[in-house]
Structure 1
Amino acid sequence: METNRSPRMTQPTQAVLRALLVEPNKPMYGSQVCAEAGLPSGTIYPILARLEREYGWLESEWEDPDISIAEGRPRRRYYQLSRDGAQAARLALAESYQARHHNGRKFGGKAGPAGVTS
C-alpha cells in the first residue's frame, strides 16, 4: 500500500476525503461518511475500500460486537485517515483544486486555497 500515489480525484472521492478530513483523528462509520459527504452508501463504500486497500490512506476497524448487540443494530465498521493518508488527502485535494481553477488560465496573483497565490 502506497500513500505517495493518488486515487482518481472524482467529485465523490473528493467529497469522501473532505468528510474524513473534517475531524481526521475521529473515526467515522459508513453512515456518518454518507451524511457528511452527501452521497449514498453504494457510492462511498467502494471509495472507502479503495482508499484503504489500494492507497493505504485509511485504516478501518470493526466495533466490539457487544456494543452493537446491546444497541440492537448491526456492527459498524469505523474508518479513519492514517496520518500519512490525511496528509496525502490534503495534498491531493489541493492539487485537484489547483488543476480545476488554474487549468490553462493565469490569475494575476489571486489567492487560492490556504492563501496560496498563483
Structure 2
Amino acid sequence: MRITIPVAKVLAALLAEPGVERYGLDLMRMTGLPSGTLYPVLHRLRAAGWLAADWEAIDPVAAGRPARRYYRLTAVGVAQARRALADLRAAIPDGRPSWGGAEPTGAPAW
C-alpha cells in the first residue's frame, strides 16, 4: 500500500487508540481531512485488510440520526500501520514528517 500523507494521518489517528472504534466524522476531526479524502482512504485500507468496518446497531428513527459506520484497525492493520509509519519516520531526515499543518488531534507524537 502506498502511504500518502492522508493515509499516514488516518493510520496515526487510528493507532492513537487501536482498540477504539471511530466513525467518519470523528476521524475527520482527528485528521483534519475532508470527507472526499477520508472515505477513499478508509476504502483502500479496508480493501487491503488493514481496517474493519461495522454499522452501528441503532434505530435511526429513535436515535434521530442515521446509523454510524465504525472503523477499527485489524490485527494485521495494527502491525502494518506501525511498520508503515516507522518506515515513513526513517525516511524523513529529522524523523518528523511534515503534515502541512498541525498534527492530527489524538495521534501519537512523532
Which residue in 1 is equivalent to 2:57?
64
Does 1 or 2 have the higher relative contact order (CA < 8 Å, sep 6+)?
2
Compute the RMSD of aligned alpha carbons: 1.2
Query: What's the TM-score, normalizing by structure 1?
Result: 0.75
Which position in structure 1 is the counterpart of 2:38? Answer: 44
Q: Deviations over 1:3-50 (max 9, x none)?
A: xxxx21111110010111111001000111111111111111000011
Deviation at 1:100, TM superposition (A): 2.1
Distance 1:90 1:52 in 2: 16
Identity of aligned residues (%): 48
- The answer to whether 1:75 aligns with 2:67 is yes
Gaps in structure 2 of 5+ consecutive residues: 95-110
2:93 equivalent among 82, 98, 101: 101
Structure 1 gaps, min length 5: 1-6, 103-118
Read off the aligned partner of 2:21 and give its amino acid letter: P
- Report runs of 4+ in structure 1 exceeding 3 Å deviation: none
CA distance in 2, matches of 1:48, 1:38: 14
Give me the whole-angstrom Cα distance separating, in 2, the residues matched to 1:12 and 1:71. Answer: 32
Q: TM-score, normalised by structure 2?
A: 0.80
Q: Quick check: which has more Rg, 1 or 2? A: 1
Which residue number in structure 2 is paired with residue 30 of structure 1? 24
* Paired residue total: 94
Cα drift, residue 70 of structure 1: 2.1
| Residue-by-residue CA offset, 1:28-84 (whole Å, 9 max, x unaligned) | 00111111111111111000011001x100000011132x33221111100000112
3-state DSSP of counterpart to 1:94: helix
Give the SS at the match of 1:60.
strand
Q: CA deviation at 1:87?
A: 1.1
